[in-house]
Each structure stands twice: as structure tokens, then as C-alpha cells.
Structure 1
């Protein structure tokens, strides 16, 4: 399975979690986790889906060491970041260290993604994709 497809499948799971979280908050009328809900939908669902589409459209970029580092750092840091955020939003600071470490690792993974895009995503790669008969 390609890295792009893995990103897309994980993005779909984050979408399900984000929608479920939003529905649950609305049903119980407790919106304290709305910040985590927003992060899960944007950083989990939307961003990961975009990463996946880019890596599917530009498979060479998805095969690089940068892409692999991006994938693993992102997918290790995001759930731990969200766990820490949920605890803090609920008033429990016992896992505050998660918010001191994992958002930074997430940002590092995004930096690797940006470097990868500038180095390996080129217009001619996309035109080759669409000119395949």
C-alpha cells in the first residue's frame, strides 16, 4: 500500500472520530473538547487527506525518505498531541508534557513535508500522470 493511500485511510478514520466527537458534544451539551474536535478535523482529516492526495498524484514524492519520516512522525505525534489537549481542555494537567513535546514533532513532520514538496513535486510529473494513455 502506498504512503498516499495510508494517509487517506487514516484521514478517513480521523474524520469519523471528529464527526463522532462533534455529535457527542452536541448530544451531551458539553463543548469543552471543541478545540480538540477542531484539531482532529483539520490536522487529522483535512491535512492528512491533502497529504494523501498529493502523494498519490506525485508518487515519487511519496516514496522518499522525507515522506516516510513525515508519515511516521505525523502519525505518532498527532494522537499523543490530541490526548494531551483533551486532558488539558478537561482541566487535567497530568499529561501536559504531551503538549510540550508532540506539537513540536508534528510541526517538524510538516516541515519535512514542505521540503519534500519543494524538492520532489514538479509540474512535469503531473503532466506525465495525465498523459498516460
Structure 2
């Protein structure tokens, strides 16, 4: 799952910088909130989650990691599409934005639960001074 999170985060990064470049080229900055959220919740948050899942494979292999992945990656596009339409067309998209935002928040909460359940420092064998794999 760590690699999957990192790869999808790169897609959000490309999208975010392309939106930023388009805004800077046209001097139209209406999509700034979309640009910022895609870069923060897509690129940054998912990259960090991917690194955590890679470093702690027991967390990445859990069902919670899969639930986190799908909530985050369905919710974020819903939220960003709704926000973009609202900003560009003036059409109220509050239900779609709220649905997507709620899904992302739920995904982040699932991530937090997963981290607290499965991310542990390796046990240290005091006699040998060596790290041991953590027991679950």
C-alpha cells in the first residue's frame, strides 16, 4: 500500500502544479483553493501516508490502509470537482464538497487509528543490543 499511496500522490502533485501553472499563466487565481487542497491533501498527505505504510508494512497491509486509500481517493476528487465548479461557475456544490470532505476526514481518521494500532517502535533485545521485530 505504501507504494500505491506514493504513486497516486505523484498524480495529485502533477495535477496541482499544472493548476498552479495555468493560474499563473492566465493571471486567473479563482482555483487557488483547489490548487492548495490538491497539493496538501493529495500530494503531501498521501506521500507521507505512503512513507509511513512503507516503513511499517504491518500498517500498510491492513484492511484499514485499504479503507483509508479509497475514502481519501474518492473523497478528494469529489470535494475538488465540487469546489472548482462552485468557484468557476457559481453553482452551489455544497453537498458534493461536503460529501467529499467528509470522506477525506473519515479516511484520515482511519489512518490515525491504523497508525496507533499498528505503528510501533521495534523491540530492543537489551542483552544483545539488537532490534527485534515488534510482536502484534
Larger strand share, 1 or 2:
2
Q: Which runs of 5+ in 1 are unaligned?
A: none
Instruction: Indicate the residue corresponding to 1:61 in structure 2.
Output: 59
Against the structure 1 CA distance between its residues 35 and 63, is the aligned structure 2 distance closer, same or farther, given a 3 Å change threshold? same
The TM-score with structure 2 as length reference comes to: 0.87
Which residue is 2:127 aligned to?
none
Alignment of 1:44-123 (within 5 A): 44-123=42-121
Q: Secondary structure at the match of 2:86?
A: helix
**Unpaired segments ≥5 residues, structure 2:** 124-130
Please state which structure has a larger fraction of its residues in helix: 1
Instruction: Quote the Cα distance in structure 2 between the aligned partners of 1:72 and 1:55.
Output: 15
RMSD: 1.5
**Residues 64-109 of structure 1: CA deviation (Å, up to 9, x unaligned):** 1111110111111111111001111224325332112110111011
Structure number with the bigger relative contact order (C-alpha 8 A, sep ≥ 6) is: 1
In 1, are the aligned partners of 2:76 and 2:100 still within 8 Å (CA)? yes
Write out per-residue CA displacement over residues 15-72 of structure 1, whole angstroms, 9 at most, x where no aligned residue.
1111111011000010000000000000000000001000000011011111111011
Q: 2:3 aligns with which of 2, 5, 22?
A: 5
For 1:63 and 1:77, the matched residues in 2 are separated by: 22
CA distance in 2, matches of 1:128, 1:18: 41
